[in-house]
Structure 1
């Protein structure tokens, strides 16, 4: 059986043909077969680097004593066990060694068949040696790093004759963040072990590592956004969050920023953008904040709170509605009642009494700010920084004016399910003020309206006075009498 380029797939027969090709090409004679283009180009580069085809061994880059430290710092170190399982277990029994190099072609790890490792030691296919094309000529590791593409090199396709008894397949591994080469993954063995599937296997191993690196990069980006997105809105300027490598992870809406674009960073604290404008660079936990220009005057967000009545509490920020949990509604109600702000200790005391935990309050405030926006609730102290309107404020203002009509329009119990001491005290004070104002009016219509709110529905005094003031033939009178009877029958 022949390959698509006409060469035999029998490793030994192909090796004999490649020996004749190697000898003819180097001697300048007519070749019995045209070498593959990737091999021709690699031989050209290797010969231009003055590699002697009769050279016996690669150079030693570092001694074994330095190997542990170099491995520990290399970005592929954590993936060696996964590659071992993927490549060596899959190729078990085929007589191969797995080799992992750095971006310069230095072998950092070599594992596999013990007999093949001994053979490899004899030709210095060993840890600490350098296998770039410029160091030892055409080989799978050096050529894959030179071309940036997967490659298989068999027998006399190696420029140096000492490696004509070997076959190898390698694939580069790139950093998904920067695109830089991290190194190469290789399977090498005696020439009789050559098989087309070896190349697919090393490609699968390299892609698996890159996939894991991409997943870790995405998780790192998500964490950077989660921790620091508030800086974008708080800066008041065009701003971007940068990864440690200077890649734009998130930004304010601006034509000057493109997601994934990379900003060149240095230690100066400033950088000049492509449009010629200077930008400030500030270190953050896990990245950088880049800010351009002078702070803009910003419109304060608009916050509306619905806290009264038995419906689900609601916050509306710039027209966007957010249902609130009871705990978040309690915190926002207390902040609305204390416009000067509260620290965590005071807020915990108002919420839970002496058992309050400031740490729990800080966690809940963090969640509120993530949900509603960093500009809505500020810290140090905790306070509402938006332009606020709420049904709580509306009823309090109506009561302060003595406006019974407006007060009853907003009548409702403040967070009726809340057990917070401060919320309950405010709820009781509002109810007492509201019912007192309603009763003082002597208006049957207003008392009827109040009697149909959750604040006045079960108030015997309100129901009785409303009934007594109603005209005998008013339809509302019979409703009030029925409700009174049911309430009285329900008393013990």
Structure 2
């Protein structure tokens, strides 16, 4: 584009800047790509009069981010390809992470000092929702190379700058790793620079792919040295490398927790185990999983016992396990959320709680839908069976108090009330004075006037239990 055309375009952009607002479509000044970016930026609350990018990393955090970032090995490639050009043309080269935070920056010293004044420096964040339209943020937003010229920036302080940037995709995961950018003053940076930056980014992706294949080869050699290769070999991110010759699992699987069971597409149950720098999926043993024992009745702390371990449960975890025990066919996160919180529930919260529970109880809980994969013994389920047997004496021995008395879950309250009514009815109809006396030692039975009256009528007046019942009756 000639300088005359650039001047005309700049005038159109300046006119558009005077009228643009979040509630009004961008006028015919900028090209479509830039118009869309302006609207995203304005909707994110960007102030065109802001003066610099925000600082996102302290020095210590920046050092940590650099050391662990997958693009660190690509720095020699970037500098060999772009740094000399940047120095000679008074530009700077920048490498960011996937959120637009600048990790590395090299280039002409004068331009570096000028860049410092607008936060185009190490540790500052250049996503669109931080500084509006710019090469780094817009390339990350649209996931392709882009050149942003002068007044195409939404923030006016950046109008002296132009930048060419390209995102870099991780071949291992398919996600954006970061962005490569060359920036300079508006007239010194040619729009064709974006082609060079884009080509360098693709070259980096090729190098990353080669490194990935080299890691795969190392894993395959170690896998092939195994006596039995019945397991499926996975990369560290769940990419299928070997052991699935007909492709039944697809290219990638979602990794469960190590040691956790998962059901493969062909119906096999498998366990994940670490292997070198990746994982193996092995067929799960067919032995019956250990029994899960739940103690949820009464005022004591709820507990779960499995494989000889007894674990205290939070109220929320106890509620989830009680609901899964009541619904052996399983519940989705949405159903669990509704049973626990009603319409105000959030399935995301449930998924997080299930994740914590599975970390404690391992393969006891399966997904899709969530259900108990182990045999279950629970004190409140035992009560149900005793109610069917019409055995009041056994019933009161097994009943220390109501089910999770502090729970406000609609489903738990319904189950708790139903058990209480059934127990009370059974005792009033068939219970001996001893059974009735045992019941009034529980939280709900203590002040039950009808049961207390029955005890008074059934026992001699001299019986201490009759006297205690009489005292409670007149105190209530």
TM-score w.r.t. structure 2 length? Answer: 0.56
Q: Equivalent residue for 2:112?
A: 117
- The structure that has the greater radius of gyration is 1
Q: Which residue of the partner structure matches residue 395 of structure 2?
A: none
Q: Does residue 83 in structure 1 map to residue 74 in structure 2?
A: no
Partner secondary structure for residue 98 of structure 1: strand
2:93 to 92, 95, 98: 98
Partner of 1:234: 228
Q: CA deviation at 1:52?
A: 0.9
| Structure 2 residues without counterparts, runs of 5 or longer | 287-476
Q: Please state if 1:129 is matched with 2:158.
A: no
CA contact (8 A) 2:258 2:274 kept: no
Alpha-carbon distance between aligned partners in 2 of 1:225 and 1:95, rounded to the nearest angstrom: 47
Equivalent residues of 1:12, 1:192 under 8 A apart: no
Quote the residue 1:434 is aligned against: none
**Corresponding residue to 2:177 among 179, 182, 185:** 182
- 1:264 lines up with 2:255 in the alignment: yes
1:281 match: 272
Establish whether residue 212 from structure 1 lines up as the match of residue 207 from structure 2: yes
Shift of 1:252: 4.3
Q: Indicate the residue corresponding to 1:43 in structure 2.
A: 38
| Offset at residue 147 of structure 1 (A) | 1.3
Asked if the contact 2:126/2:136 (under 8 Å) is kept, the reply is yes
Residue 273 and residue 37 in structure 1: after superposition, are their counterparts in 2 closer, same or farther (change >3 A)? farther
Aligned to 1:163: 158
Instruction: Kindly indicate whether the alpha-carbon contact (under 8 Å) linking 1:22 and 1:157 is maintained by their aligned counterparts in 2.
Output: no
Name the CA distance, whole Å, in 1 between partners of 2:96 and 2:243: 37
Is residue 2:253 matched to residue 1:253?
A: no
Q: 1:50 to 1:203 in 2, by over 3 A?
A: same
- When the two chains are superposed, the root-mean-square deviation of aligned CA atoms in Å is 2.5
SS at match of 2:248: coil
Q: Distance in 2 between matches of 1:77 and 1:66?
A: 15
Task: Determine whether 1:290 maps to 2:284.
Answer: no
Does the aligned pair in 2 maintain the 1:11–1:191 contact within 8 Å?
Answer: no
Structure 1 runs not aligned, ≥5 long: 3-7, 296-492
Give the whole-Å Cα distance in 2 for the aligned partners of 1:286 and 1:125: 37
Q: Matches of 1:135 and 1:205 in 2, distance apart?
A: 26
1:298 matched residue in structure 2: none
Relative to structure 1, the CA distance from residue 252 to residue 54 in structure 2 (aligned partners, 3 Å threshold; closer, same or farther) is: closer
Cα distance, 1:111 vs structure 2:
0.9
